[in-house]
Amino acid sequence: MADHQFYPDKAFHVTTQANLASILLNGLAPLYGRRSQQFGETMPKISFFVSREGLEEAMTRYFEKAFGQEEELVILEVASNVIVHPNPDHAEAFAVEKIPPSAIIAIYDRNWQFVAKA
């Protein structure tokens, strides 16, 4: 993890393009669904990455398999002051409370190309 650059003021969340309009309107909500089960989650939560490197590793190892190439993924940059459960041993963190749309800073495509300021 020494090669990861951690950001004190932001974290990253991956979602599908299909979910984006709803998230920008309603915010992020902790959920527990099919993909949560695929990733071994045990409770409703919103998962984040606190480094770009951690997110890129997850994209390569897990997300592309879980989502497939046909689903367009987007990366949300979120203010980290709303994330209350960082994991100091990993490049991951999570929240169990709803996160308002105002906490979303920017949107990127899966290749880190800037799409929009939220």
**pLDDT tens readout for residues 39-91:** 677 788 898 888 888 888 888 777 766 676 667 889 999 997 766 666 656 67
Burial letters 30-53, b for 16+ CB under 10 A, else e: beeeeebeeeeeeeebbbbbbbbe
Residues 6-37: tens digit of each pLDDT: 666 788 999 989 999 999 999 999 987 776 67
User: Which architecture does CATH list for 10-117?
Assistant: Alpha-Beta Barrel (3.20)
Domain range list for the chain: 10-117
Angle in degrees, CA 105, 67, 106, rounded to 5 = 10
110 pLDDT more than 50 = yes
Query: Six-digit token pair at 38?
Result: 């695929």
Residue 114, beta-bridge partner list: 108
pTM of the model: 0.82
